[in-house]
Chain A
């Protein structure tokens, strides 16, 4: 995965800012997981929650990210389960997730992960290509 490498080599050294946005396009559980991550963010745990979602990826829309499972994951990292459940049930972050997806479509994003460096689309989004784009944006300096 690209993100862990970038966090360690570039974010930790203050060279880049890393922004995560949703492109939930693989079905209802994609959208629900994205909403759940926003609920975790309400409790200051977006990154921890997102890491667990990645670690628990299974088949598409097969129950791996059902509401029950999403709440279990929240409990696993000691989030307030009641608040999390209330948030998820309310659907109050659905618009936010949908807005990210709309923006992604406007930007012609067609798969995940899709990476932009200072606004420029980088493809393929593998480590070496993204690192090369970052180094070019940094003026050729190494991490």
Chain B
């Protein structure tokens, strides 16, 4: 690619909206007006509860949404090239080579009847135009790189013969095969045991640093984000409600939803016997944005003004943006 001349952000998403239209049913606005940027080598988090539109955002960027019944508007520029209107063939060339993805459930994301080796090698054959033998050899190196012991034997094995953690490592091996410039990890640890989760996160962190790959980390778990993301976007009901660098966000969350997410993480340093603070209600108790803040029905800081219309994103001096008319500013300035 003619990237060298380009010096803007690696990925620039602006005003991205995704609407699912189905005959006989009301349109579903999964994502509305989402904007964020990812610089080369940067780790960016997309955080929110399930159903808030974070996965749909990722699928829309990569063009993996089903072709029918979906309307995508706005813009997503990768290294200056518009992804949304790009020729599907060209986008296919980009996927797996420059933009790679790791999905949530490693067992269902791997083809059960094809050996792991073939599934890794096919990326190299497709994008690097390598021969089968060369690709297999490199696939073994990749498996070794992501920490799968005895890679030559594993190459010939099938997904069901691997453990959950190893499957996720294999998926990561496929994703980094062509040393992509952007890696999108969609809840990469949710389906794994806690001990394995930490290992996989560590592996991702390591790889990102080593390959200088930018990473979009999609998760519902602020704990995952805390350890690795440079910038964090909090999504609620298809809109960004707060975006900030890691430190300010954790130190002084402005949006009550971010506060709620933070409070609902169990903390080891909390006094014994202190209760967890779950966010009341669920994502389904939401207002359509045009009628006010979608989070209002669950919000503890709700005021009348919340229902006056869609709140705007408000920039704050520390470089953050938040979408709230009654933000929680008391904690501002308190170190994390």
A binds B: no
Binding site for A on B (CB under 8 A): none
Binding site for B on A (CB under 8 A): none
